[in-house]
Structure 1
Amino acid sequence: MTDLSRRTLLLAGGASLGLAACGNGVGSNGAAKIDARVDATRSYMLRNFTSSQQLLDKSVGVLYMPLMTEAGFGVGGAFGRGALRINNVTVDYYSAASASFGFQIGAQQYAHALFFMTEKALADFRRADGWELGADARYALPDHGAAIGTDTTTTLAPVVVQVFGQSGLIVGASLAGTKYTRILP
């Protein structure tokens, strides 16, 4: 790889991560701001995706990530902050970050919620220094208010991820590989 292409790759990666941090108020999100965003996200989700209430009723905790900003051009990144709620009370704050490499171009923002369906899944998440979304999660992608899959298979998964509120366009990137870390807002 030549120096020029290495520099281009590093600049593209830096720009992608910089764009991912924009709009998330890196360094300026206090607890009150995160909680306000989580309240709005939860209300939006329940209002627009009514089957989310079924997941909420069966879950032991939910991590809401109200605003994830993702950008990529070969190298990509995403960042957001949110709150873990048990019985709709915030117990911890988390950041989510991901990096990716490959065929991808574009930028988008979205929200997602991780529904912890078992006490063990929630305890493992809270105990970890940094938790990476893995194969034990099921994805429920609502489509314009349509019901998400809340059948027995989905609700027996330890963690169910619901992604919603997407705006923008990115090709070739995914939520897989996102790392969640406890933060002090």
Structure 2
Amino acid sequence: MTKITHILNRRTAAAATLALAGLAMAGCTVNNHEARSTPTEQRAEINSAADGALSRLYTAAPESKQLVRDAKGVLIFPQVLGASFIVGGEYGNGVLRVGGRNDSYYSVASGSLGFQAGAQSQATILLFMTDEALQKFRNSKGWTIGADANVVVAKIGANGHIDSNTARQPVVGFVLNNAGLAGGVSIQGSKITPEPNL
């Protein structure tokens, strides 16, 4: 192993450690609140926030309502909290809905390297458009976007229409921030894990 490779490996490990620490610090308020809430209360909060996220999506992209209806499963993370200062991380809880009913609960987490400082919150909505894509997701104990399946983030044209190629993909994603639909956002590398205690 060359000296340069060794240095790069050490920097990568340090960045990953900082990202996890950032996630832990950013999630302190959320975790403290969740520690005081019962699982029933947490599920109710997630479900209510998920309804709000879907309403925002339908306002921002009206055609998404039909896509949601056609989807075999809809995974909604209504509030993915992120914080970054060179090294960042994101975390949030969400609900999988199948046939319009709440089915099970999940968490999403990711770390990243970048040069933006600050904190943000966004909603992430994944639509499983085929039975095969949904079953693969449900049968996994941990599912990483980009590794276990590709998720195509929906492209919205200037006329507000969803790109037709997007709608034909097995898994379609939408990302909403405070300004509305976020374009050009990558959610690759996000790890989704079942939360059996919710």
> In proportion to residue count, which structure has more strand?
1
Question: Which of the residues 108, 111, 128 maps onto 1:96?
Answer: 108
TM-score calculated relative to the size of structure 2:
0.75
Cα distance, 1:156 vs structure 2: 2.2
What's 2:134 paired with?
Answer: 122
Contact map agreement 1:141 1:164 (CA 8 A) in 2: no
Question: Which of the residues 142, 147, 168 maps onto 2:161?
Answer: 147
Structure 2 gaps of 5+ residues are 1-6, 180-184
TM-score calculated relative to the size of structure 1:
0.79
Using the alignment, how far apart are the partners of 1:69 and 1:98 within structure 2?
10
Using the alignment, how far apart are the partners of 2:83 and 2:159 within structure 1?
26
What's 1:170 paired with?
Answer: none
**Higher mean displacement: 125-134 or 104-113:** 104-113
Using the alignment, how far apart are the partners of 2:157 and 2:60 within structure 1?
10
Cα distance, 1:115 vs structure 2: 0.3
Contact map agreement 1:74 1:101 (CA 8 A) in 2: yes
Task: Decide whether aligned partners of structure 1 residues 99 and 91 sit closer, same or farther in structure 2, where only a CA change above 3 A counts.
Answer: same
CA RMSD of superposed structures (Å): 3.0
Using the alignment, how far apart are the partners of 1:166 and 1:144 within structure 2?
19
Runs of 4+ in 1 over 3 A off after TM superposition: 8-13, 20-29, 141-145
Contact map agreement 1:20 1:71 (CA 8 A) in 2: no
Task: Decide whether aligned partners of structure 1 residues 12 and 100 sit closer, same or farther in structure 2, where only a CA change above 3 A counts.
Answer: closer
Percent identity, aligned pairs only?
35
Using the alignment, how far apart are the partners of 1:60 and 1:11 within structure 2?
37
Structure 1 gaps of 5+ residues are 168-172
RCO (CA 8 Å, sep 6+): is it higher in 1 or 2?
A: 1
Task: Decide whether aligned partners of structure 1 residues 165 and 104 sit closer, same or farther in structure 2, where only a CA change above 3 A counts.
Answer: closer
SS in 1 for 2:178: strand
SS in 2 for 1:115: strand
Task: Decide whether aligned partners of structure 1 residues 13 and 131 sit closer, same or farther in structure 2, where only a CA change above 3 A counts.
Answer: closer
